[in-house]
Amino acid sequence: MHKLWWVGGFAIGAPLTLVATFLTLVLSAPAPTIPKADVAYTTQVLSPKDDSVPTWNLKFGSADGRVLLITNYLKKYKSPLLPHARELVEISDKYGLDWRLLAAIAQQESNLCKKIPVNSYNCWGYGIYGDLVTRFESFVDGMDTVARGLKKNYVDKGLDTPEKIMAKYTPPSQGSWAKGVNQFLSDIE
């Protein structure tokens, strides 16, 4: 009979101990930390009616994949534009341009800003004619000015492909500029 009490006590006590241990761990654990994302959607995971029990919120987010693609492209070529990958995409969106175009032109004109006139921040060959050099305050200023100019003086006038842009942007290139820009557009994807 003594053994029967031990078996019965174990059969009842063991599951109760496991449940109590599990609840102690769950209720005393800190809320999980989720890395911050560009856009967050919050979902309540545990919603008890008792306010004494902590709740956990998980945030699921998504980032603009285009920024990652541009970042990887700029990193691959060790471009000084790397810290400005997000701005390349945002400024392109602001003016309704292909998000890869500014980087592709910069690759064609200056090896992604590695070969530019001193203190010019001009990676796009924009307004450079012989000794005349258009200078910008920063890479971001250059991006914005070039994007605005491409939109107003090219795209809005129907010059919306590298071939059509080339006819006005750099007419002496006889096709090589557009071929290079198209190649770089493809490389970014």
What is the CATH class of 65-188?
mainly alpha
Q: Where are the domains of the chain?
A: 1-30, 31-63, 65-188
The Cα 153–Cα 125 span in angstroms is 15
Report whether pLDDT(65) > 80: yes
65-72: average pLDDT: 94
The Cα 70–Cα 189 span in angstroms is 8
Which letter, b or e, does each residue of 3-18 get, where b requires 16 or more Cβ atoms within 10 Å of its Cβ? eeeeeeeeeeeeeeee
Share of the chain above pLDDT 90, in %: 59
23-41: average pLDDT: 49
pLDDT in tens, 86-137: 999 999 999 999 999 999 999 999 999 999 999 999 999 998 888 899 999 9
- Residue-by-residue DSSP string for 101-145: HHHHHHHHHHTTTTS--TT----S-TT-BTTB----SSHHHHHHH
This prediction's pTM:
0.67
Angle at which helices 65-76 and 85-94 cross, to 10°: 130
